[in-house]
Amino acid sequence: MTGRPSVAAAAVVKHFSEKSRVLVEGESLELECRVWGYPLPRVTWTRLTRLDSAAVEMVTGGRVTLGSVDGVVNASLTVTDMSIDDYGMYICIAHNGVGNDSEAILIRVKGITALPS
């Protein structure tokens, strides 16, 4: 027995442990999307900044890095040096041809307040 299922199974995303998170400007965002399914799901990340806006796909470049987790490509997302413009709903989408699933987390970024000298 190889440990692989003999029947295809739709992609499933484990829920994030929190529904929202607050970061301070300059901090890094690190998210991990835990997925299951057979064949192994592919992961994409998107971000919504307003309810009436289109989702923007996150890709590696600049301050954004996507990485693999347990053999799943793009399952981790890191955004360095967060700014208030990085707020929004970050969505992990898993798909494998059998089915799709997604999970979202709201990220808020607080500005740094300088004290008068």
Q: Is residue 117 part of a domain?
A: no
pLDDT of residue 55: 87
Q: Is residue 78 domain-resident?
A: yes
User: What distance lies between CA 78 and its chain's CA centroid?
Assistant: 8
pLDDT at 1: 43
pLDDT in tens, 57-98: 999 999 999 999 999 999 999 999 999 999 999 999 999 999
Mean of the per-residue pLDDT values for the chain? 92
Cα–Cα separations (whole angstroms), residue 90 to 87, 108, 113: 9, 11, 25
Residue range of the domain that includes 47: 9-110
* pLDDT of 6 over the 50 cut: yes
Nearest to 77 by CA among 95, 90, 96: 90
Looking at the structure of the chain, the number of domains it has is: 1
CATH number, position 89: 2.60.40.10
